[in-house]
Chains A and B, each alone.
Chain A
Amino acid sequence: MILDLQSVSDSVDANFPDTILDIKSFRNETTLLIKKEGIREVCRYLKNDLDFKFIVDVTAVDYLGMKTPRFEVIYYLHRFGSEFSENVRIRLKVEVPEVDLRVLSVTPVWTGANWLEREVYDLFGIEFIGHPDLRRILMPEEYDAHPLRKDFDVRDREASKRCFERELKEGEDGAS
């Protein structure tokens, strides 16, 4: 079993030479920039062959006005081991352009990614292809905005109010 971060990134790079666009190492943190189409394959390899059994988090960043492509989806993976040095955490990034907000879901690889991807979908509007149940998770289901996008006004309560009023009305109809 390969143990340290360096050999992990070397091994991924050797197996997926065209999929890995960039490898960054900074203060013992390794970040792999991955081609959008290849994310699920790399994840499957990391899980099955390199023992990254745990998906810590899936999140996204909106770089509106700072760079293109606008979005980045970020995955944190962790490998547990009995030795301290066997515990390795790695970060994967996928760039997502505004014109095509679709990314392959990794829920088929780790079931635990289900809700994490729903959260990213809810707050950023990024669609995960192959997700078994892609619904909003935090905001009301009929909510029509993506609050963590940089062009969303955080004080804009109109959409929330509309959902609330609809919910109230449905309650009244149900009671009568």
Chain B
Amino acid sequence: MGLNANPLLGGDGFITTKLGEFANWARKNSLWPMPFGTACCAIEMMGVFASRFDLSRFGAEVVRFSPRQADLMIVSGTITYKMASVCRKIYDQMPEPKWVIAMGSCTCGGGPFDSYAVVQGIDEFLPVDVYVGGCPPRPEALIDAVMKIQKKIEMQGAPIV
């Protein structure tokens, strides 16, 4: 990226950059999360969105309950096999590019529920980008995960079309 503010060019000048980097810069600062909360972790996720921790400081405040308008899925809570197909369906409905955060021990590996109904980690059926451990994780941990996603977008990016 380069800033050109030569007075001969008039006005405030302009910036030169690559289109891909520009798109990724916009993407990483306006993540629209799709909250998939199924259990206690979802309460902590709400805390992250609310005023005290305020995820909007990172540009991710527009919580979308419609997967069509979201690009970051935050899976927070115990996922049972019965719910897993729903989770997968919602993920499939999100437009590319999209990212997934597995929030809490349950989504990372089943958590305390080593039982017949609970999926032992959502990476069985979803491509997870960031895992957040904890039962539940502190809001700071989820903020950290969002920042890691931002870093990932910055470093790796995603195709523009």
Contact = CB atoms under 8 A, between A and B. Distances in A.
A155 B116 contact: yes
A150 interface: no
Contacts, number: 43
Interface in A147-168: 147, 152-157, 159-161, 163-164, 167-168
Contact of A140 (B82, B89, B114, B120): B82
B81 A171 contact: no
Contact of A155 (B84, B88, B89, B114): B114
Interface residues of A, number: 19
A104 interface: no
Contacts of A147: 116-117
Interface string B119-141: 01000010000000000000000
Interface residues of B, number: 14
A159 B116 contact: yes
B89 A171 contact: yes
A175 B90 CA distance: 13
Interface string B63-91: 00000000000000000111011001100
A160 B81 contact: yes
A157 B120 contact: yes
A168 B85 contact: yes
Contact of B81 (A152, A154, A155, A164): A164
B88 A160 contact: no
B156 interface: no
B85 A171 contact: yes
A139 interface: yes
B95 to A, nearest CB: 15
B16 interface: no
A155 B117 CA distance: 9
A140 B120 CA distance: 18
B47 to A, nearest CB: 30
21 contacts: A139-B82, A139-B117, A140-B82, A145-B116, A147-B117, A152-B116, A154-B115, A154-B116, A156-B116, A159-B116, A160-B82, A160-B116, A164-B82, A164-B85, A164-B125, A168-B85, A168-B125, A171-B88, A171-B89, A171-B92, A175-B92
